[in-house]
Amino acid sequence: MMTAIAVDDEPPALEIIGNYCQSTDDVDLVKVFTGTAKALEYLEHSPPDLIFLDINMPAMSGLAFFKRIPLSAMVIFTTSYSEYAVESYNLNAIDYLLKPYTLARFQQAVAKAANAYQVRRRIEAEQPFLMLKADYALVRVLLADILFIEGLDNYLKVHIRNQDPLVIRMTLKVLQDKLPERAFVRVHRSYIVSISKVEAVRGRMVYIAGEEIPLGSSYEKQFFAVFQAYRP
C-alpha cells in the first residue's frame, strides 16, 4: 500500500480526499495539510509515496511546491482550474483531477499511481536505484554507482561514478533512511560513504575515487564495524 499526504488550503477538499482514500486499498492517507510550509517541513523527514496536491493555494502554488518535493514522490494534482493541465503533465504528474471529481475518477488516478509504484518496486528489486530530483527533473541513480554523499545544509551533493555530482534538496538523514545500512555508512555529520567504494583509510581520512573524506570520532566505531565485515 502506498503512503500519501494531501495538501489543499480548503478543509472540505481534504475531507473528500480522506473519504475517497478509505474507499481504495491502494493508498494510506497518513497526513493532510492546509498550508505548504508545514507540508514541506514534513516532507524533509517523512517523504510519502504519493501526494495529492492542490494547484491554486495562497502562500505557494502547487506547481512551485512540486518543484521542492524531495526524492521521487508521485503527484496527483487536484484543482478547479483546467488551464493548469498541460503544465502538470509537463512536470510528469501521475494525473490531474479537476474538481469536483467523482470517486470513480479518483480511483482511476490512484490506480495509475499504484501501477507506477509497482513497476518501480520491480525494477528496484532487479537493480536497486533511487529517483532523485535535481534541477526540477527526476534522475535515476543506481545505488551501485554512488561513491559518497556530501551534506550542505538542506542540500546534498551526490557523487556518482563517471559523471558530475547531483545537487538535490534534502537532508542527510532522509537520504540515509533510503539507503541499505550495510552498504552505506555515515562517517561524519556531513558525509555518507559507499562501503564498496572505499579505497583506503588512513588516520582520520577515508579515500574514495581520489577524494579525502573526514572520519568523525563519533562515527568511527560503526564505520570500522561495517568496513571490516564487508565482503564483495
Q: Residues with Cβ < 8 Å from 34, sequence gap 6 or more?
A: 7, 8, 9, 10, 11, 14
Q: What is the model's pLDDT at position 225?
A: 86
**Interval 182-223: pLDDT, tens:** 889 999 999 999 999 999 898 889 999 989 999 999 999 999
**Alpha-carbon torsion (189, 191, 197, 203), positive or negative:** negative
Q: What is the model's pLDDT at position 194?
A: 94
Question: What is the pLDDT averaged over residues 64-89?
Answer: 77
Identity of the amino acid at 185: V
Question: What's the pTM?
Answer: 0.62
- Go through 203-225 and write b for each residue having 16 or more CB atoms within 10 A of its CB, e for each that does not: eeebebeebebebeeebeeebee
**Interval 104-153: pLDDT, tens:** 999 999 999 999 888 777 766 666 888 888 876 778 899 989 999 999 87
Give all domains of the chain, ordered by start, each with its CATH number: 2-126 (3.40.50.2300), 130-229 (2.40.50.1020)
- Whether 231 has a pLDDT exceeding 60, the answer reads no
d(CA 10, CA 88): 20
Start-to-end C-alpha separation, the chain: 33
Q: What is the model's pLDDT at position 192?
A: 96
Are 207 and 172 within 8 A, CB to CB? no
- Whether 93 has a pLDDT exceeding 90, the answer reads no
What is the residue-averaged pLDDT of the chain? 88
